[in-house]
Amino acid sequence: MRRVQAGDLDRLAVLYSRHHARLRGFLFRICGDAAGAEDLVQTVFLRILRHREHFKGKGSFASWMYRIARNSALDRIKSEKLRSPGPFPQGGDEPRDPNPDAESCAGHRERLDILEAAFRRLSRKQREVLSLSKVDGLSGGEIADILGCSTGAVKVRIFRAMGELRRLVQSMENGEFS
């Protein structure tokens, strides 16, 4: 990012290639719209370019980028009144069993469907904090920086969101939701 700030705008392409997939997944989980998430990634990188002088380097570039992404997503949600998100984006980082059998695949897919449905029932704020912590792997400090709260508040939010997700999954497994 320092090189981009110094005028080497070609380095933005390096940042884009390094971060766009995780950023797109985060935005998809928040907004629930794959095409919209891709548009938001472009918006985020345009904002990074336009506001590059505002990056002070006190925190990580990822924290600064996610804060811009979160604000962009919130702007979009407010302006378009998006509904709850759809299923998780497919493909990517999960390891695959090289020799899956049909029965284990079906059981795994059923469990994943329940988890996705439970995740969609969480509030936007709960989806956001779980996405940042569990999916994107950001630290409590980085999440606190993005959300503008204390690290302790982040820990509480993650704990409560995980508890709600666990409750929803159990309810769905018991057939209480369809």
165 touches 118 (CB < 8 A): yes
Say yes or no: domain 1-86 is CATH 2.40.240.20: no
Question: Do the first three CATH levels of 1-86 and 108-178 match, i.e. the same topology?
Answer: no
Instruction: Tell me the three state secondary structure of residue 168.
Output: helix
pTM exceeding 0.85: no
Q: How far apart are CA 87 and CA 96, in angstroms?
A: 19
pLDDT tens per residue across span 72-114:
988 887 776 644 444 444 444 433 444 455 555 666 778 888 8
Domain borders along the chain are 1-86, 108-178
- 94's tokens: 């999960």
Task: For domain 108-178, give the fold.
Answer: Arc Repressor Mutant, subunit A (1.10.10)
Around 168, how many Cα atoms within 13 Å sit in the side-chain half-sphere?
19
